[in-house]
Chains A and B, each alone.
Chain A
Amino acid sequence: MGLAELTIGEAAAGLDRGDLSAVELLSAVLERASMTEAELHAFLTIDRDGATRGAEDSDRRRAAGEQLGPLDGIPIALKDNLCTHGVETTCSSQILAGYRPPYDATVVGRLRLAGAVLVGKTNLDEFAMGSSTENSAYGATRNPWDTSRVPGGSSGGSAAAVAVGSALGAFGSDTGGSIRQPAALCGVVGVKPTYGLVSRYGLIAFASSLDQIGPFARSVADAVTLWEAVAGHDPLDATSYRGTYPSPRVDLDKGVKGLRIGVVKELSGEGFEPAVEAATARTVEQLAAAGAEVVEVSIPAVEATLSAYYLIAPAEASANLARFDGIRYGHRAAGATTEEMMARTRAEGFGPEVIRRILLGTYALSAGYYDAFYGKALQVRSLLQAELAEAYAVADVLVSPTSPTTAFEVGAKAQDPLAMYLCDICTIPSNLAGHPAMSVPVGLDESGLPIGFQILAPALGEQVMFRVAAEVERLAGFEARPAMVGALA
């Protein structure tokens, strides 16, 4: 096994022992990228120079005997909707082609402070709108387990990069499942933290009340390390949580004995692939065998959450994306008047899915429609929150599949937005509620494609969520590696 396949924990231990250097680790990762990128296209930008400087600095710090954190010298990839000072940040959109932010997102700043080596910017569905990473103005990302298939989305680039070893960990953003679903489809761990726990400052917004930045990793422990590096109050984000919360790390090895695990009744049945249902059921049985108390919970509002989500998220997006007008940055079209210039810039700069959602959101907020659409969607959101509160009265965590299906063929749903939207059915409730949730790989389907198991927890419930996830990881014993990685060996 090469350096690129180490977990963060293993790599950090190796760095500490002096078995390897950050520069060596980076070159292994960059070599992995150079071997896979032509086919995979996980990255939009690889910042070879910046990363090399970062790795050299880390090695210098280590040589100087400084006390270093667990991410010092670790190569990390960033979704291309996270602002990086001086490094092109496009959101996979033509409208931001060539845009170099003059500042770092808070998350990026914290990673730099932790000594992480920032490898580059990963592909996504344009403005994080999609579930397959096909809606990118710069070309689709492929699934490393089967390159005829999608990696999921919208953070498909980050998921694929971690799965294949082009980074040891990565960050994405999750508005309706954009971390968890690609994590499931690429066989890695993906976490959406509690809303407000990770600063959104510098995350190019899709839907502000739903967006949350979170990590991808190849182990639950690594995910905790990444989560710890970025969580915590940020005065630059007014929605950032100010209080304290329990550390997840201390409970990682506690097991699930005595925990109550609620299986969400509505997240099964029609539309769910048998292999996915079987893997979920097996995992639940293993948890029961490990001492958890399994209960079935019903959350009827789940049926309406998809509709509510596809009103709330586009409504917020319609305002969030209004700033891309060609005046101050990014693409600018020609026009005889300011208005014409703005309109043409937007028509040329945005892809079809982005335009669809802006139109949808604008319509939902319009006078005369607001109450019937946006207002109703907010009611569903409140109802869902109330039902989840009831569920958490009888269960410590809830579980479900992460995605109803494993990775689908490239192009299979590209022309059918509704089918694509259904990919998010299991993940959307956590975003609408602001709760944490994560996906852990638990097995493969008959085609050898990974299956993700989702663990949901109440707000600030990361400690119990990671505790269950660690147990699921142990029980599943998921050791498989993507076909693409196997082929390299």
Chain B
Amino acid sequence: MSSIAPGWEAVIGIEVHVELLTESKMFCGCPARFGGEPNTNVCPTCLGLPGALPVPNRTAIEWISRIGLALNCEISPVSVFHRKNYFYADLPKNYQISQFDIPVCHDGWLEVAVDGELVRVGIERAHQEEDTGKSIHVGGGGRIHSATETLLDFNRSGVPLVEIVSKPDIRSAAQARAYAQELRGVILELGVSDAKLEEGSMRFDANISVRKTGAPEFGTKVEIKNMNSFRSLERAIAHEIDRQVSVLESGGRIVQETRHWEEEAGVTQAMRTKEGSSDYRYFTEPDLVPMVIDEAWLDAQRAVMPELPAQRRARYRAMGLEVHAAEVLTDSDPAIRRLFADTVAAGAEPKAAAVWSTGEVTGWLRKNATSLDRIPLTGTDLAELVAMIGSGAVSSTAAKDVLNGMMRGEGSAASVAASRDLLQVSDTVALAAAVDEVLAANPDAIDRFRAGESKVVGFLVGQVMRSTGGKADPQLVNRLLADRLASSP
């Protein structure tokens, strides 16, 4: 990814919308799940019928409290819902119930690693709101301005949505991507959303401005929308930084606007501006009462908080894993992490346990499109294999075959190694015979060795390995060969 032109600094803030996977919607009892025929998961409240009223979803408030705790936020003891007023066809009440000056969560932070460096990104706020319905534009290629008809599906209307707004602490596209990925990891760990970027259950907007390095004031910011993968987020931001720098360097001026990321063209494009400025005329939602979140409530949330990615990474590092290994293991499936933990518990050295769990095991599962719960491999099994490698009973190469057999259900490490005839030959007498045979068959090799051609040893080792079917302990072969060559008349 391109880095910023010298002399310039980018200032980036990210807004993230996360749909909560609660059973029911934010303000009514309708199912919050996707799918189903259009307009089937609806009721008077989420259709905005006259007279219908909202009642907050308790689970959603529990979950946003957990998000706030995970992001090191202050939790407002009393927080208030507001109405955000704007007319749009898929917004049934023509106002969205959201939060304004007193969000549930505020002033937190999330630490992310970028190129081995830790960056702390401030969290401005995380507030609770409701999602809109979906407009489906028919005809004219599905774009609103050329469509002949617009259909509305309100199944999504009223699904709980949490908006997480970062502080403008991000300085590069790579940091932005790392932040977004880390945040997704936290959300997934909390289990409050499936956070699928492609399906829109996690959506990003970025606010970007550039300024001369060290300038005290922010430049004019531009909002970028429509980035539905981490890659497009990073590309869009990098592109927008470049665009702004080149506009400014050529004496131009940045216009405060919203731009759309065009994935295929790889550019941002100004969106048609809505008439008038966006004055949402926020005011307190009179259909709801203030939400009181006390310490007992927060304690109950803390009690069920899972281990978060950052905590897990730190724990793995403390177990002796290198940065990268800790990272890979942290991002692994829970089942793989459990296998790692079981393997270590069964006595394996953590580094080796991590390598085998995230490497060979994960790769094999992926290749065979299966999962740990469908194969007989346990941590105890894996620890046994690791121990056999350590003792020299099997070579690292042969161990992969042994593992393969174990995952296919052929038995324990020892029995697979035996039945597949993969045990390393460490029997000195047997190996000495093999060495003698090789030396006898290659008399010229001894002469060449004596003439000072030391690389011939490698050839001889190879011959011994071949004659033993790869099961010979290479170190032992080396030692035996050296003895013989030195003592030969």
The size of the chain B interface, using a CB distance under 8 A, is 29
Number of A-B contacts (CB under 8 A): 105
Q: Which residues of B contact A202 (CB under 8 A)?
A: 51-52
Q: Which residues of B contact A83 (CB under 8 A)?
A: 50-51
Q: Is the CB of B55 within 8 A of A235?
A: yes
Count chain A CB atoms within 10 A of each CB in B50, B51, B83, B288 and give the residue with the most: B50
Nearest A residue (CB) for B27: A238
Q: Is the CB of A209 within 8 A of B50?
A: no
With contact pairs A209-B286, A236-B55, A338-B89 given, residues A319 and B50 touching in the complex (Cβ less than 8 Å): no
Q: Quick check: is A48 within 8 A (CB to CB) of the other chain? A: no
Q: Is the CB of A236 within 8 A of B92?
A: no
Q: Quick check: is B279 within 8 A (CB to CB) of the other chain? A: yes
Q: Which residues of B contact A102 (CB under 8 A)?
A: 44, 49
Size category, A interface: 35 or more
| In the complex, chain B residues 81-137 whose Cβ is within 8 Å of any chain A Cβ | 83, 85, 87, 89, 92-95
Q: Quick check: is B48 within 8 A (CB to CB) of the other chain? A: yes
Nearest B residue (CB) for A362: B281
Main secondary structure of the interface of B (DSSP, over half): loop
A319 to B283, CA, bound (A): 9
Q: Which residues of A contact B288 (CB under 8 A)?
A: 238-239
Binds B, one of A217-225, A300-308, A322-330: A322-330
With contact pairs A238-B287, A338-B89, A366-B281 given, residues A319 and B53 touching in the complex (Cβ less than 8 Å): no
Nearest A residue (CB) for B279: A367
| In the complex, chain A residues 309-328 whose Cβ is within 8 Å of any chain B Cβ | 315-316, 318-319, 322-325, 327-328
With contact pairs A239-B287, A362-B281 given, residues A204 and B87 touching in the complex (Cβ less than 8 Å): no
Q: Quick check: is B150 within 8 A (CB to CB) of the other chain? A: yes
Q: Is the CB of A322 within 8 A of B287?
A: no
| In the complex, chain A residues 328-383 whose Cβ is within 8 Å of any chain B Cβ | 328-329, 338-339, 342, 362, 365-367, 370, 374
With contact pairs A327-B89, A365-B281 given, residues A322 and B94 touching in the complex (Cβ less than 8 Å): yes
Q: Is the CB of A328 within 8 A of B48?
A: yes
CB distance from B19 to the nearest CB of A (A): 22
Q: Is the CB of A105 within 8 A of B51?
A: yes
Q: Which residues of A contact B54 (CB under 8 A)?
A: 238
Q: Is the CB of B289 within 8 A of A319?
A: no
A204 to B48, CA, bound (A): 11
Q: Which residues of A contact B83 (CB under 8 A)?
A: 319
CB distance from B167 to the nearest CB of A (A): 24
A362 to B56, CA, bound (A): 26
| In the complex, chain B residues 191-224 whose Cβ is within 8 Å of any chain A Cβ | none
CB distance from A121 to the nearest CB of B (A): 13
With contact pairs A83-B50, A105-B51, A239-B287 given, residues A319 and B44 touching in the complex (Cβ less than 8 Å): no
Q: Is the CB of A103 within 8 A of B44?
A: yes
A383 to B47, CA, bound (A): 37
| One of B51, B56, B89 near A238 (C-beta < 8 A) | B56
Nearest A residue (CB) for B48: A323
With contact pairs A325-B94, A339-B87, A374-B283 given, residues A238 and B53 touching in the complex (Cβ less than 8 Å): yes
Nearest B residue (CB) for A200: B53
Q: Quick check: is B152 within 8 A (CB to CB) of the other chain? A: yes
With contact pairs A201-B51, A366-B281 given, residues A322 and B56 touching in the complex (Cβ less than 8 Å): no
Pull 10 A–B residue pairs with CB atoms less than 8 Å apart, ordered by A: A91-B50, A101-B49, A201-B51, A235-B55, A238-B53, A238-B54, A328-B152, A342-B89, A365-B85, A365-B282
Interface residues of B (CB under 8 A from A): 44, 47-56, 83, 85, 87, 89, 92-95, 150, 152, 279, 281-283, 286-289
Interface residues of A (CB under 8 A from B): 81-83, 89, 91, 96, 99, 101-103, 105, 200-205, 207-209, 235-239, 315-316, 318-319, 322-325, 327-329, 338-339, 342, 362, 365-367, 370, 374
Known: A328-B47, A328-B48. 4 other contacts (CB 8 A): A101-B50, A102-B44, A322-B87, A323-B50
Q: Which 3 A-B pairs have the closest CB atoms?
A: A322-B94, A209-B286, A208-B286
